[in-house]
Amino acid sequence: MTALSPRLQMQNIKKSFGPVQVLNGVSMDVMPGEIVALLGSNGAGKSTLMKILTANYSKNAGDIRVNDQLVDFQTPRDASRVGIRFLPQEISVFPELTIAENICMSAESTGPVNWSDMASRAELVLDDLGFGQLDPQTLVNDLPVAERRIIEIARALEGQADILVMDEPTASLSEQESEQIFIILRRLKERGTSIVYISHYLKEVFEISDRIVVLRDGLNSGEFDPHKAEVSEVVSAMLGKVSGSMFEDRPPLPEQSDVVLSCSGLTQPGVIENVCFELRTGEIMGVFGLIGSGVEVLGRLIFGAEGRPEAGSLMLNGAAYTPISPLKGKQAGIGFVTAERKTDGIMADMSVRENLVAAFQADFGGKMLTSPARENEHTTDWIDRLGIKTAGPEQAIRFLSGGNQQKVCVARWLNPKVKVLILEEPTRGVDVGARKDIYRQLVAFAREGLAILVLSSDVEEIAGLSDRSMVIDRGRIIETFEAGAAPSDLMSASAQPS
């Protein structure tokens, strides 16, 4: 490798999952001592590309070179052996172990553990990062979040990382804590480490990176010099021209509509902080945020799946409401469609009928017994109304496509008792045709009077579906759009560290 050769080259990488082309000829390279920001909206292909680099996924086509050598990793350990380390968004440390044990965990060694040597190695790498004040014998559980991230970086370096991939490394950190990470990244850059930095905080990206690579829909969409490019250019490359065909025109909201749900100061320490908003009859309110922003917790907290909030008050249909449990949420008139359809949304071995009536099964019979005939009639009606493609009410739901499973999950809560429907990531893992169906149906149900709260990390979904929208980051609502917002508006708002 010459002085001017990239340390990492990924050329014409292609990847499909079945008929779905996720990457279609993506290329990127990273020089020694360079920080390359890898950007793209939800589903652009960033995570898939990095999982191919670290051998968590195989590629269908393309070449990967490390130090000018063609490589074909079969396992993540193969990638690790040539100095590639991946730091996921969720901090992956062992809180019940010491700093030294966490840092030295990646070392390949045999025989008895040399505790003294482990502590010495931990001290050396911490000194190298500028955090020599940390005691290697301290339990990681006793450290703040920022220092846990530092321990994770130290573990990668102790394992001789030459190429460091960081996925949203500051998502759970304050601005002051993020600066600690930037100090470390600048040190690593000086010593020649190559860094791939994935983040949606554009202000941070422009501050810390040497080059910006943008993906969109599995393709290279642009490459930028952060010292010369405008933020608007990068956002445009990330989003492109958003097609309006996915979202049909719809009648406007009535000028006067009642407030169904209001939240004031809703707080759950560490995840949700002082959230305030109102949701009206017939309205679709969208909440956009990246994973780790609180978007994955807010709906569950309102429904009662996270238990009683630490602080704040809620009003539902004009009466005080305290989320305690999902049962209490349902009894109060709230429906909830989870993001985790396969694990929390469907009962895979049960029929379409059993899944669809599960939330209100008591409505289909007397005190002791239900009526399968009434359940069957109800299920058949919703199959027809929502266009659910199934062999019939008794087909096991696991044999349905993701989109049709999702329609069943939505239909489960379309009961007159439900006044507020909360949906998390409503079209995750759903094909384009089913997405359009679901969007059209949600708008129709809203205009019939249902109040809908949609929480999603898909910026185009929130922009296209919502009557009003909010952006959440680090547990706080950082901006509210009282009318329809463009995807670029939402993305720009979320790109600024809160």
Could you read off the pLDDT of 367-390 as tens digits, one per residue? 567 788 889 999 999 999 888 888
pLDDT above 60 (res 171): yes
Q: Is residue 249 part of a domain?
A: no
Residue that terminates a domain, selected from 188, 211, 239: 239
| CATH of residue 477 | 3.40.50.300
Q: Give the model's pLDDT for residue 178.
A: 80
Q: Is residue 1 part of a domain?
A: no
Eight-class DSSP state of 345: I
Residues 138, 314: Cα–Cα separation, whole Å: 41
pLDDT above 50 (res 242): no
Does residue 317 sit in the same domain as residue 443? Answer: yes
Q: Is residue 250 part of a domain?
A: no
Residues 126, 121: Cα–Cα separation, whole Å: 9
Total of domains in the chain: 2
**Out of 32-41, 199-208, 305-314, 366-375, least confident range:** 366-375
Residue that terminates a domain, selected from 183, 211, 239: 239
Q: Is residue 410 part of a domain?
A: yes
**pTM of the predicted model over 0.85:** no
Does residue 221 sit in the same domain as residue 267? Answer: no
Backbone phi, psi, residue 313, to 5°: -135, 150
Residues 364, 378: Cα–Cα separation, whole Å: 9
Does residue 266 sit in the same domain as residue 380? Answer: yes
Q: Is residue 287 part of a domain?
A: yes
Residue that terminates a domain, selected from 239, 273, 292: 239
Domain span at residue 292 reads 259-494
pLDDT above 50 (res 398): yes
Model confidence pLDDT, tens digit, residues 282-310: 999 999 987 778 888 999 999 999 999 99
pLDDT above 60 (res 498): no
Does residue 172 sit in the same domain as residue 272? Answer: no
**pLDDT grade, residue 243 (50/70/90)?**
very low
Mean pLDDT along residues 261-290: 93
Q: Is residue 251 part of a domain?
A: no
Q: Give the model's pLDDT for residue 403.
A: 78
Q: Is residue 247 part of a domain?
A: no
- For residue 16, give every residue at least 6 positions away whose Cβ sits within 8 Å of its Cβ, in sequence order, or none: 22, 60
CB-based burial, 313-342: b 16+ in 10 Å, e otherwise: ebebeeeebebeebeebbebbbbbbbbebe
